Structure 1
Amino acid sequence: MATLQTIVLIVLISTSFGNIVKQIEGVNEAISNTVIDKIMLELYNQRQLFNERIRELEQTISSQQRTIDRHEEHNIGINKRMEDLQKQIEHCNFQKLKETTPRKAENNTPLDESIKRNLAKDDAPNNKPENTITVKSTQGLQIPNTEHFASKRIVESNVAFSAYLDHNVDHMAAGHHIVLNQVQLNDGNGYNHFTGIFTAPESGVYLFSFSIYSHFRLAIVSLSVDGVNHTDIITYPYNDHGSMSSNTIIIRVNSGQSVWLQNIVSNDGEIWNNAFQKYATFSGVLLYQ
C-alpha cells in the first residue's frame, strides 16, 4: 500500500512539474515575443525618423541649389552690366580724345620741308586736278574743292547693334516684348539686352532688320517706335513644318526714341531659337544724320 501511494505521489509530482515547465516555457515565449515586438517597433520608429531627416536634407539641398542658381544668374547680369559700362566708358573716352585732339589744318602745323618742296607748285595751273583750288600761301598746296560736297550728309557717331535670342519663347500674348538677350555688336550702347529695347543715341536715318522662326504656332511680330507699329513679319507653321520670316526697314528716328519688337497676335505666339541656331535676330545701324 505504501508503495502504491508512493507511485501515485511520484506521478502527481511529475505531472505538476511538467505543467510548471510548460507554463515557464509559455512565459518565456511571451516575454521573448514582447521584447522582439518592442525592438521591431523601435527600429521602425528610427527608420521613420531617418526618412524624415533625409527628406528635410533633400529639401534643404534643393533650396540651397535654387539660391545658388539665382546668385549665378545675378552674377551673370552684373557681369553683363559691367561690360556695358566698360563699353560706355571706352566710347566716352574715345569721344573725349577725338574732341581734344588738335587738327593739323586748324592749328596750321608746318609740313615736312621735303613735302613742302614737292607740293609747292604755285605757278603750275595746268597740273591742277579737276575740282581743286589753290591756296594762295607760301606752301602753294592744292586741296579738293568741297563746295559740291556741301549737300552730302555725314555720320559723326558710330551707332550700330545686333542681337539674337538664345532660347525658346512660348505662350506669347499680344503686346509681348521680345527680348533678344545676346548682343553681338552694340556700338553707341543704344541696345539694352535686358529689355530688348534700342534707344537711339543720335537722330538720323536708321536701317533695321529682324527675323523670327516658329515651329508649331503662328507668330506675328512688329517693329515699333515708341509704341507705333512701322512694319511686321509673320510665321505660319503647317503640318509640323517650321516657318521663318524676316523684314528690313529704313526710317528716321529721333534721339531718345525707343525701338523694339513685339508680338501682336492675341493667341499663343511662339519663337523657336537656341544658342546654336540663331534664327531670331534684331539689328540696326545709323546710315546718316
Structure 2
Amino acid sequence: MTKTIGIFTFFCFLLVVSSNLGKQMKSEDKSLDFTLPLLKMISNLQKEMKDVRREMKDVQLKKHIAFTVTHDGTGQRITHKSQVVKYNQVQFNIGGGYRKYSGHFVSPVNGTFVFFLSLQPFPGSKASFLITVNNRGMVEAVSGKIPHEYNMSSNMVIVSLRQGDHVWVMSHPTWSVDPRHHLKNRGNSFSGFLLYQR
C-alpha cells in the first residue's frame, strides 16, 4: 500500500512538471519535435494514475472475514445423525459471517476460504463430524473409541465460496450416534477465514 501511494505521488509530481513544461514549450516554439512525444507520455501517465486509483480503491474495499467458535462447559448433546453443531461461544466473528443460532457460516463475499474443525467427544465414545458446504460433506474428523480418555481429532479444508453459500459442522449422516455424545469445552471448535476475495 505504501509503495502504491509512493508511485501515485511520483506520477502526480511528474504530471505537473511535464504539463508546465509542455505549455512553456508550446508558447516558445510550437515546432519543437519533442512536444508530441511528451504529450503522449503525459497521456500515458494519466492512464496509469487511473489504474493506481482503481487499485487503491480495490484495496480499501477488501473485506476482512474470520471467526472462531467453541463450546462452553454446558455444550451441546448430539442425539441424531446429520445434526448441526451449534457452538455457543463466539470467540470472535469479524465480518459477521457466523450465525450462532443456526450454526452456519454464511459467506458475505465471493472468495477462497479456509475452515478448521477440532473434535473432542465424550471419553470412551467414537465420533465422526463433517465440515459441510451447501449440504456437501467436504472433510471429516473421526475420533476413535479409547476407554476413559479423550481422543481428539481435527481436519481442515480450503474451499471456493460464492456470496450466500453456507458452511457448517454436522454429525455423520450414516454413523449411529452414541447416546453419550456431548460436545463441550473448547476442545470442540470451528474456525474459518477469508484467504482471498474474488
Aligned mates of 1:139, 1:197 — CA distance in 2: 56
Instruction: Name the counterpart of 1:32.
Output: none
Q: Per the alignment, in what secondary structure is the counterpart of residue 250 of structure 1?
A: strand
Supply the RMSD in Å over aligned alpha carbons.
Answer: 3.3
Instruction: Name the counterpart of 1:253.
Output: 161
Residues 121-175 of structure 1: CA distance to partner in whole angstroms, max 9, x if unpaired? xxxxxxxxxxxx79742257x999x89xx9xx97711111111111343343111
Structure (1 or 2) with the greater helix fraction: 1
Inter-CA distance 188–168: structure 2 relative to 1 (3 Å threshold): closer
Structure (1 or 2) with the greater strand fraction: 2
Per mean C-alpha deviation after superposition, the further-off stretch among 265-274 and 232-241 is 265-274
Q: 2:171 aligns with which of 252, 259, 263?
A: 263
Q: Which has the higher contact order (CA 8 A, sep 6+)?
A: 2
Aligned mates of 2:67, 2:13 — CA distance in 1: 42
Aligned mates of 2:78, 2:116 — CA distance in 1: 24
1:160 aligned to 2:66?
Answer: yes
The structure number with the bigger radius of gyration is 1
Pairing of 1:194-205 with structure 2 (within 5 A): 194-205=101-112
Aligned mates of 1:279, 1:156 — CA distance in 2: 32
Inter-CA distance 139–268: structure 2 relative to 1 (3 Å threshold): farther
Q: TM-score under structure 2 normalisation?
A: 0.66
Pairing of 1:1-289 with structure 2 (within 5 A): 136-138=14-16, 156-166=62-72, 167-214=74-121, 215-264=123-172, 265-268=175-178, 270-274=181-185, 278-289=186-197
Aligned length: 153
Q: TM-score under structure 1 normalisation?
A: 0.47
Inter-CA distance 160–239: structure 2 relative to 1 (3 Å threshold): same
Which runs of 5 or more residues in structure 2 are unaligned?
19-44
Aligned mates of 1:191, 1:156 — CA distance in 2: 18
Inter-CA distance 218–191: structure 2 relative to 1 (3 Å threshold): same
Which runs of 5 or more residues in structure 1 are unaligned?
1-103, 112-118, 120-132
